[in-house]
Amino acid sequence: MQASTEQLLDAIAQLPAQELEAFVVQVLKLRAQRQAPHLSSSESELLSKINHSLSSDQQTRFDQLVAKRQDLTITESELAELIEITEQAELLNAERMAALAELATVRNQSLTQVMRNLGIHPLACLACPS
């Protein structure tokens, strides 16, 4: 029995956030494996760096701490933990951007093209004029 894309998406929409994150990682790995015969080892390594993110536990904790900060109930030690996780996430994002830029160079494409091809959407700039 095969499920339609719509059925799969409906089922995925029901997953809790932590399971959804784990599922996304698995899907990205599957996509990378299918593309693997067409990728050089340097491209595979770059894609691995691009797909690396906080663990689902770290992301869950980050979300909890952000909520506490927004509710003004965060303790000093929790704030220090939030800052530490934020710094880790920023480092991962910087490494991701460097890998994206390098992949764009390897593929002789613009950064925008590479991001579009990988399904990566840049975050909206809240301070940028519309």
b/e map of 26-54 (b: 16 or more CB within 10 Å)? eebeeebeeeeeeeeeebeebbeebbebe
Q: Name which residue leads in pLDDT, 21 or 91.
A: 91
- The percentage of residues in the chain with a pLDDT greater than 90, rounded to a whole number, is 50
Collect all residues with Cβ–Cβ distance below 8 Å to 18 and sequence separation of at least 6: 56, 57, 59, 60
Q: Locate 1 and state its tokens.
A: 């029995």
Helix (H, G, I), strand (E, B) or coil at 104: helix
Q: Tokens 């951007």 sit at which residue?
A: 97
pTM over 0.75: no
The pLDDT of residue 2 is above 90? no
Given a cut of 60, whether residue 59 has pLDDT beyond it is yes
Which tens digits make up the pLDDT trace of 61-120?
Answer: 999 999 999 999 999 999 999 999 999 999 999 999 999 999 999 999 999 999 998 888
pLDDT at 56 over 50: yes
